[in-house]
Structure 1
């Protein structure tokens, strides 16, 4: 399967001229290293922790491939987020979505505005039929955003949690303890799979307009 050539992201433009989206490159990754760290313990693994030149270059390599596309998002000329499509399948016209944002720009409506335009482009210009994503069950803020966009929960599963040496005395863990299972030495967490289809997206956002 060839995903190259069939997906032309270079022409994407944001309707709001305060935002700019571009294919993710090394110069963008260097700017991510100036992001602030989050203060929510369970999501520490989402922080951009890479500072050394070699670390940033190695991280960027993980975002390249024929079945994935990543983009840097700028707001008023500041790099505030990166967004990606993974597991791109041209035959089924589907892909997995992900977005990571500098904590200084969270809870300000940026995520919703960015994703509405990105999904509109993916469904309209690229003719994708289905976009899905995985989210930790305890991540209520992200789930609220995805529901607002029109995503619906389709499945759940247990997966190895990214922070295996977690401090179980932390308040964040105690409040969400039911979302974790200790399986021997491995800590598992519940993960929800959400999806949205092209028709669902257009129907919802046509009503909003």
Structure 2
């Protein structure tokens, strides 16, 4: 009886401690051994880098200056339903039309990023197709998934890795895109996203 009572008290104390513990701080993760020629896709998924939410409050938002191209195009997918709601104004994000892009700005709790969405072009579809060329099971579904949905281009991002730098690196753009992307990313080498437009930040 005494042993049972002690065990019950330990169980109650453990439960109380876990209930009172603060929620873990939100993080966003990317694979950090990518080739930006593959739109941020990692070949091996061997290195993962995570950024805590608090880091964005300490960083600076900078425009992406890339010669001959506006922003960094990524292979991070935003599902058609979310992207079309975004373009229709359902999320209420401020935007600015720039050339062929409608650039949206998302601000919340120290996070300040600007992005656009677009349907993948031939070079990205070819990249996906080439990677799955020998995989009969996944080739057609993956290519179809990219053709049916949208991908994210980052125009402004936070310098969370190189705070001393006055330019945004590609991996910093990948962090921003991953915050916005679908929670389930189909392409090997693209980390699952956070879907902050629907889940909040």
TM-score range, shorter chain: under 0.3
The structure whose residues are more often strand, as a share, is 1
Larger RCO, structure (CA 8 Å, separation 6 or more)? 2
The structure with the larger Rg is 2
Q: TM-score normalized by structure 2?
A: 0.26
Q: TM-score normalized by structure 1?
A: 0.25
